[in-house]
């Protein structure tokens, strides 16, 4: 599964911790980051159920970019936030490009 980025549902000033049904804990500290990244579908479902909105695109390092033929395929025009490049890129059906149209 690719990484999903979630944001707190409201202004939060102290750490928040959620326990999953499997006993794992999700801790988010607003002084450390404005978001939390999760790779577990269980954690993603828990945060969604708690009202945390998620970034509506996949994110991850360059090495985890989805391909059209992969298990988590991407369609032409599909966005991906590349954490290695620290920018949003788009799949044109053959290669990834940044907003300027440069192949990345």
Name the E strands within the chain. 4-6, 16-19, 25-28, 36-38, 58-60, 79-82, 87-91, 96-97
Number of domains in the chain: 2
Are 43 and 11 in the same domain?
A: yes
Residues of the domain holding 90: 58-97
pLDDT tens, 17-64?
A: 877 767 777 788 877 778 888 887 888 888 888 788 887 788 889 998
Residue 86 lies in a domain: yes
* Choice between 84 and 75, residue whose per-residue pLDDT is larger: 84
Residue 71 lies in a domain: yes
Residues 6+ apart with CB under 8 A from 71: none
Are 9 and 43 in the same domain?
A: yes
Whole-model pTM: value is 0.58
pLDDT of residue 5: 85
Residue 102 lies in a domain: no
pLDDT of residue 84: 94
Residue 103 lies in a domain: no
The dihedrals phi and psi of 45, each to the nearest 5 degrees, come to: -60, -40
Residue 10 lies in a domain: yes
Strands 87-91 and 96-97: antiparallel
Question: Is residue 97 pLDDT above 90, yes or no?
Answer: yes
Question: Is residue 1 pLDDT above 60, yes or no?
Answer: no
pLDDT band, residue 98 (cuts 50/70/90): very high
Residue 63 lies in a domain: yes
pLDDT of residue 87: 92
Are 42 and 68 in the same domain?
A: no
Listed as own residue / partner, the contacts of 11-19 with beta carbons closer than 8 Å and 24 or more positions apart are 18/46, 18/47, 18/50
pLDDT of residue 49: 82
pLDDT of residue 73: 67
């Amino acid at each position: 599964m690719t990484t999903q980025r979630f944001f707190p549902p409201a202004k939060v000033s102290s750490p928040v911790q959620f326990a999953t049904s499997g006993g794992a804990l999700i801790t988010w500290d607003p002084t450390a980051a404005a978001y939390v990244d999760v790779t577990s579908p269980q954690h993603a479902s828990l945060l969604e159920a708690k009202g945390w909105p998620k970034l509506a695109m996949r994110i991850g390092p360059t090495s985890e970019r989805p391909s059209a033929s992969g298990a988590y395929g991407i369609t032409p025009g599909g966005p991906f936030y590349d954490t290695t490049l620290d920018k949003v890129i788009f799949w044109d059906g053959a290669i990834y490009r940044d907003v300027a149209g440069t192949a990345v």
